[in-house]
C-alpha cells in the first residue's frame, strides 16, 4: 500500500507530464529517452561531458582530502533494441588539492610509502543504457580500450544501473541515475572491489518540451569506491568518497579551460579529433 507521504513526495513528478506534454513518468521509454537527451543525444551525434570533483579517503570515520579530479568523456549514443548503446572514451586527472598540479605520487593515510598515481584512460568502450540493468560483464584489462590492472584486475563484474522518476522545480526537471558495480576475480569467492555512483541530472523543462534530440544539461555527482589496486592499501580497511558537478556539452572545445589544457598535454587526440577517438 502506498502511504500518503509517498504520494505527496511523488506529486511534482506526477504533475510533470501535463506541463511537458510527455508520457507518464513511470513509462520506461520516456525516462530512458529523457536521460539520453540529457546525457547525450538520440540522433547519433557526438557529445562530450566534463566533471570536476573532490575525492577523499575514509578510514574508521576519518576523512582526509586526497585529490581534485577533472574528468572528460566523449560519446555517441545509438538505439539498440529497447535501449541505447553508447560508445564512450573517458579520461581523468588527479590533481593536488592545494597546488592544482597533476599528482605523480601520493602517500595515503596509514600507508608505509608513497605510490605512483597512474594515468586513467578507458575506451572506446560500449556501455548499455536502459531504465533497469542487472547483468554481468567481463573486465579484461588487456582488451583494447580497457582500463589497466591498476584500476581493476581481470574479473567478472556484477553491474546494476537504474533511472529514477523525474521531478520538477522552478522550471527545471531533475532525473536521478544510479550505478553499482562489484568486482569478482573469482565468481565463487567474495567480491574485492566495489563502486557506487549517484548522479542527479538537471535540464530546463522548456528544453525537454521541445523535440530536440539533445538538450543542455548539467549534473551533481557523488560516488564511493573501494581501494584500487594501484593504491596498495593492503589490509587497511577503508574506501574513497567523492562529490562534484559537471555538464554535457557539444564538444571538448566547451570544456573548462584547465581541463582543456590537461587534455592537450596528455590526451591530445581527444581535443584534436574527438570523433576519431571513438573509432
Reported as a single tens digit per residue, the pLDDT across 26-56 is 455 689 999 999 999 999 999 999 999 999 9
Question: Cell 568486482, residue?
Answer: 183
- How many structural domains compose the chain? 1
**Predicted local confidence at residue 144, as pLDDT:** 73
Q: Tell me, what's the pLDDT at 27?
A: 58
User: What is the per-residue pLDDT for 19?
Assistant: 41
Give residue-wise pLDDT tens across range 59-81: 999 999 999 999 999 999 999 99
Which has the closest alpha carbon to 242: 67, 80, 103, 75? 67
Domain of residue 11, residue span: 4-278
Q: Specify the residue for cell string 586513467.
A: 120
pLDDT for 149: 82
Q: What is the pTM of this model?
A: 0.86
Q: Which residues of the chain have pLDDT under 70?
A: 1-29
Amino acid at each position: 500500500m502506498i502511504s500518503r507521504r509517498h504520494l505527496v513526495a511523488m506529486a511534482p513528478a506526477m504533475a510533470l507530464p501535463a506541463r511537458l506534454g510527455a508520457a507518464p513518468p513511470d513509462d520506461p521509454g520516456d525516462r530512458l529517452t529523457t536521460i539520453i537527451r540529457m546525457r547525450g543525444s538520440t540522433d547519433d551525434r557526438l557529445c562530450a561531458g566534463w566533471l570536476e570533483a573532490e575525492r577523499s579517503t575514509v578510514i574508521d570515520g576519518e576523512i582526509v582530502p586526497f585529490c581534485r579530479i577533472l574528468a572528460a568523456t566523449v560519446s555517441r549514443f545509438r538505439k539498440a533494441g529497447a535501449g541505447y548503446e553508447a560508445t564512450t572514451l573517458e579520461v581523468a586527472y588527479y590533481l593536488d588539492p592545494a597546488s592544482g598540479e597533476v599528482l605523480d605520487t601520493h602517500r595515503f593515510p596509514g600507508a608505509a610509502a608513497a605510490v605512483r598515481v597512474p594515468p586513467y584512460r578507458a575506451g572506446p568502450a560500449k556501455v548499455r543504457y536502459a531504465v533497469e540493468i542487472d547483468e554481468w560483464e567481463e573486465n579484461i584489462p588487456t582488451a583494447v580500450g580497457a582500463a589497466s590492472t591498476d584500476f581493476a584486475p581481470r574479473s567478472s563484474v556484477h553491474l546494476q544501473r537504474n533511472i529514477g522518476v523525474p521531478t520538477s522545480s522552478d522550471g527545471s526537471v531533475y532525473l536521478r541515475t544510479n550505478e553499482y558495480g562489484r568486482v569478482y576475480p573469482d565468481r565463487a569467492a567474495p567480491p574485492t572491489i566495489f563502486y557506487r555512483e549517484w548522479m542527479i541530472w538537471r535540464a530546463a523543462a522548456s528544453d525537454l518540451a521541445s523535440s530536440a534530440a539533445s538538450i543542455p544539461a548539467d549534473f551533481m555527482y557523488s560516488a564511493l569506491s573501494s581501494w584500487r589496486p594501484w593504491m596498495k592499501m593492503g589490509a587497511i580497511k577503508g574506501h574513497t568518497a567523492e562529490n562534484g558537478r559537471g555538464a554535457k556539452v557539444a564538444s571538448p572545445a566547451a570544456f573548462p579551460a584547465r581541463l582543456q589544457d590537461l587534455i592537450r598535454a596528455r590526451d591530445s587526440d581527444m581535443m584534436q579529433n574527438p570523433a576519431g577517438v571513438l573509432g
